[in-house]
Amino acid sequence: MGKILEIAELGHPVLRKVASEVEDIENEEIQNFIDDLIETGIDSNGVGIAAPQVYESKRIFIISSRPNTRYPNAPELGPIALINPEITSFSDEKEKDWEGCLSIPGIRGLVPRHKTIKVKYLTREGVSKEDEFSDFVARIFQHELDHLDGIMFLDRMESNHEIVTEKEYQKFMTKILEEKNLGNEG
Ligand code: ZN
């Protein structure tokens, strides 16, 4: 069982650094850190969290996907740790959707991401894996990988007009859901 770590917020330089590769995955300190990162992700109810977000400039992130209202077909995945992750190829097709970030509390933005990506990473057991992700999981992967390169989702946005506060986001998402439900009744 891990412990809950403090989350770095936008403005702290650790979020703007390129994180270092992990070489000693079997090291107890790294293994304990992965437990802590998973625990911190669960505690903050996030779908992903990257090591720099807890002040550790290492190439590790966690993905935790489950079906939700915007992605009812999202797979149940994780929480799993991905170490030294890379994108090996991606679809030209991009999609824009809303993202939030534990390090930018209270803000949401519309971010374009590749719809499908092929990836490579090491598991916490040190096993090399290749995978193909699309939609929601591809979005989480790209968001978290950016954290390892010092990139925040705000940097990927096309317009400041597509930044909203959590309060307004919740308001219009509730409205869209209500309209959908009304439509279903008809
Ligand atoms: Zn983030």
| Centroid of ligand 1 to alpha carbon of 177 (angstroms) | 25
The ranges of the chain with pLDDT < 70 are: 70, 183-186
Give residue 150's identity as a one-letter amino acid code. Answer: G
| Centroid of ligand 1 to alpha carbon of 186 (angstroms) | 39
The answer to whether the CB of 78 falls within 8 A of the CB of 121 is no
Please enumerate in sequence order all residues whose Cβ is within 8 A of that of 131, keeping only pairs 6 or more positions apart, or say none.
118, 119, 121
**CATH entry, 13-185, from 1.10.10.10, 3.30.230.10, 3.90.45.10, 3.30.1780.10:** 3.90.45.10
| Centroid of ligand 1 to alpha carbon of 129 (angstroms) | 23
- pLDDT attached to residue 70: 67
| Centroid of ligand 1 to alpha carbon of 131 (angstroms) | 21
- pLDDT attached to residue 126: 96
| Centroid of ligand 1 to alpha carbon of 103 (angstroms) | 6
DSSP single-letter state for residue 58: B
CA atoms of 179 and 177, how far apart (whole Å): 5
- 3-state percent helix, strand, coil for the chain, nearest multiple of 5: 35, 30, 35
The answer to whether the CB of 74 falls within 8 A of the CB of 48 is no
- pLDDT attached to residue 184: 60
Return the ∠ at Cα 15 (arms to 14 and 20), rounded to 5°: 65
Let me know if 23 is a catalytic residue.
Answer: no
Identify the active-site residue in 39, 56, 99, 144: 144
Residues with CB under 5 A from ligand 1 (ion): 101
C-alpha pair distances (Å), 36 with each of 8, 29, 72, 141: 15, 10, 29, 19
| Centroid of ligand 1 to alpha carbon of 101 (angstroms) | 4
Helices (H), 44-157: 135-148
| Centroid of ligand 1 to alpha carbon of 73 (angstroms) | 22
Domain boundaries, the chain: 13-185
